């Protein structure tokens, strides 16, 4: 039983690190303010961090186009 728990934790850890890295790289590429902050937010949990980032990115670019 302990082996399964360890495997699940390891997979979750890998997914969170990949998500944080991808969010950070995208924020750097798109010149979104505070890319390090977005990378750290991406390390917190798996699905909701990405959703929050995508919503912010969409709103940020809409606001940027109006200016």
Tell me which residue has tokens 């995508």. 54
Report pTM: 0.86
Q: What is the pLDDT of residue 14?
A: 96
N- to C-terminal Cα separation, the chain: 57
Q: What is the pLDDT of residue 64?
A: 77
Per-residue pLDDT of the chain (67 residues; tens, 9 = 90+): 778 999 999 999 999 999 999 999 999 999 999 999 999 999 999 889 999 999 999 998 888 777 6
Give one DSSP letter per residue of 36-64, joined into a string. HHHHHHHTT-SHHHHHHHHHHHHHHHHHH
Q: What is the pLDDT of residue 67?
A: 66
């Amino acid at each position: 039983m302990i082996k399964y728990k360890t495997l699940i934790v390891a997979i979750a850890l890998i997914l969170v690190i990949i998500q944080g890295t991808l969010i950070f790289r995208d924020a750097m590429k798109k010149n979104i303010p505070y890319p390090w902050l977005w990378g750290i937010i991406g390390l917190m949990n798996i699905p909701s961090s990405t959703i929050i980032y995508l919503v912010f990115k969409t709103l940020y670019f809409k606001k940027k186009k109006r200016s």
